[in-house]
């Protein structure tokens, strides 16, 4: 089956997920992001790569980091950015997602950055744009349900590469609510594609989906066992908003079993880095002493996210129909 993200020349036309993305494209995105960062570690210069293009941010779910960094990235690429206020839009009057998209496309949108609670919503939009011959309009997935969060996965890979250089000798542990996490899915696909030596997931049985071993990961239900000797720890938020019924005895009990404390972090390699996609629940999945400690690179992830989103948008908008 044709990869729906790629055009007939194998170029990235939409970014819908990391699953199925060739290693060469992931590396191209990371290298392009690197060229934007090296312009200046803090000051990313404005470049005219998307001058005259309109980027519509469509966030049907809340966001702090992703929406803001997409907006900053688009402005650094000289695009015009329109943040649709979903609560005040006609979507709240019952307009369908596809009708909303067609109307915005009629306003000469060039790119939709979409976050939606329904897994597959960005795929549906991309398919609709292709079916209606609007090939010049691109879709970037900013997180769909529990499916994927590809730009978070890419900025996580950028961060790991920045601190650790080479994936081939790394053991990476992803800890927590994997069942509801789109970040975990994108990270697992990216890490296995980039050839990480070992990818582990750690969590209670009730928060681990089936089929993890088939994705190429080692599963641990004991946090202390799973953290032994790892180079990278990626902590996940408990996704309470996606849980149906009680999957945990209590958040206190969860912290006792799976919270990342300084004592537990000492089981990882001494130079291990600690990551978290945010928003963090301090005292639930991570102790403040770790979140604010010397091994945490959580705020660097946010900063790198701007360059990575610049790379994704410039590459996608430069692909031919």
Q: Work out the number of other CB atoms within 10 angstroms of the CB of residue 200.
A: 22
Return the structure tokens found at 84. 């649709």
Q: Which stretch binds ligand CP (CB under 6 A): 41-49, 63-71, 250-258, 263-271?
A: 63-71
Q: Work out the number of other CB atoms within 10 angstroms of the CB of residue 10.
A: 12
DSSP string, 291-310: HTSTTB-HHHHHHHHHHHHH
H helices of 166-229, in order, are: 182-193, 223-227
Q: Which helix (H) or strand (E) holds 128?
A: helix 121-131
What b/e readout covers 41-62, taking b as 16+ CB neighbours within 10 angstroms? eeebeeeebbeebbbbbbbbbe
Q: Which of 122/143 has CB closer to ligand CP?
A: 143
Asked if residue 237 belongs to a known ligand binding site, the reply is yes
> Site for ligand CP (CB under 6 A): which residue of 35, 38, 64, 240?
64
User: Minimum distance between the CB of residue 191 and ligand CP, rounded to whole angstroms?
Assistant: 17
User: Minimum distance between the CB of residue 140 and ligand CP, rounded to whole angstroms?
Assistant: 13
Residues 264-283 that bind ligand CP (CB under 6 A): 277-279
Asked whether the beta carbons of 312 and 29 are under 8 A apart, the reply is yes
Residues 127-146 that bind ligand CP (CB under 6 A): 143
Greatest alpha-carbon span in the chain: 56
Residue nearest to ligand CP (CB): 66
Asked if residue 205 belongs to a known ligand binding site, the reply is no
Q: Which of 279/293 has CB closer to ligand CP?
A: 279
Q: Which of 131, 125, 172, 123 is nearest to 147 (CA)?
A: 123
Residue 93: partners with Cβ closer than 8 Å, 6 or more residues away: none
Which residue in the block uniquely carries the two structure tokens 């293009």? 53
User: Minimum distance between the CB of residue 277 and ligand CP, rounded to whole angstroms?
Assistant: 4
How many residues of this chain bind ligand CP (CB under 6 A)? 10
Asked if residue 149 belongs to a known ligand binding site, the reply is yes
H helices of 132-287, in order, are: 150-164, 182-193, 223-227, 251-258, 262-265
User: Minimum distance between the CB of residue 301 and ligand CP, rounded to whole angstroms?
Assistant: 8
Asked if residue 67 belongs to a known ligand binding site, the reply is no
Q: Is position 153 an interface residue for ligand CP (rule: CB under 6 A)?
A: no
Asked if residue 200 belongs to a known ligand binding site, the reply is no
Q: Torsion over CA of 199, 203, 209 and 210, rounded to 10 degrees?
A: 70
> Site for ligand CP (CB under 6 A): which residue of 66, 181, 186, 314?
66
Q: Which of 152/171 has CB closer to ligand CP?
A: 152
User: Minimum distance between the CB of residue 70 and ligand CP, rounded to whole angstroms?
Assistant: 9
Q: Which of 105/302 has CB closer to ligand CP?
A: 302
Return the structure tokens found at 245. 């019924």
Q: Is position 63 an interface residue for ligand CP (rule: CB under 6 A)?
A: yes
User: Minimum distance between the CB of residue 135 and ligand CP, rounded to whole angstroms?
Assistant: 28
Residues making contact with ligand CP (CB under 6 A) = 63-66, 143, 149, 152, 277-279
Binding residue numbers for carbamoyl phosphate: 65-66, 115, 149, 152, 278-279
Binding residue numbers: 65-66, 93, 115, 149, 152, 182, 237, 278-279
Binding residue numbers for L-aspartate: 93, 182, 237
């Amino acid at each position: 089956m044709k990869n729906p993200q790629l055009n007939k020349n194998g170029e990235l036309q939409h970014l819908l997920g990391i699953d199925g993305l060739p290693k060469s494209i992931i590396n191209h995105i990371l290298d392009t992001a690197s060229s934007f960062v090296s312009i200046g570690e803090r000051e990313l210069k404005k470049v005219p790569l998307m001058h005259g293009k309109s980027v519509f941010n469509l966030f049907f779910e809340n966001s702090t980091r992703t929406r803001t960094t997409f907006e900053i990235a688009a402005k650094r690429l000289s695009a015009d950015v329109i943040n649709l206020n979903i609560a005040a839009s006609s979507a709240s009057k019952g307009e369908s997602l596809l009708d909303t998209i067609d109307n915005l496309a009629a306003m000469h949108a060039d790119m939709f950055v979409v976050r939606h609670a329904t897994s597959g919503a960005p795929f549906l939009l991309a398919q609709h744009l292709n079916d209606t011959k609007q090939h010049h309009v691109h879709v970037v997935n900013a997180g769909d349900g529990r499916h994927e969060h590809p730009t978070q996965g890419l900025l996580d890979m950028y961060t790991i590469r920045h601190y650790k250089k080479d994936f081939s000798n790394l053991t990476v542990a992803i800890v927590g609510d994997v069942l509801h996490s789109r970040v975990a899915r994108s990270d697992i696909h990216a890490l296995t594609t980039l050839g990480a030596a070992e990818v582990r997931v750690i969590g209670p049985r009730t928060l681990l989906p089936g089929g993890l071993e088939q994705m190429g990961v080692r599963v641990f239900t004991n946090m202390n066992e799973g953290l032994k000797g790892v180079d990278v720890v990626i902590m996940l938020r408990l996704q309470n908003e996606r849980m149906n019924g009680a999957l945990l005895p209590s958040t206190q009990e969860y912290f006792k079993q799976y919270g990342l404390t300084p004592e537990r972090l000492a089981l990882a390699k001494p130079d291990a880095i600690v990551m978290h996609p945010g928003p963090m629940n301090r005292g639930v999945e991570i102790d403040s002493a770790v979140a604010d400690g010397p091994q945490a690179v959580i705020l660097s992830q946010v900063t790198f996210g701007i360059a990575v989103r610049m790379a994704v948008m410039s590459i996608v908008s430069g692909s031919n129909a």
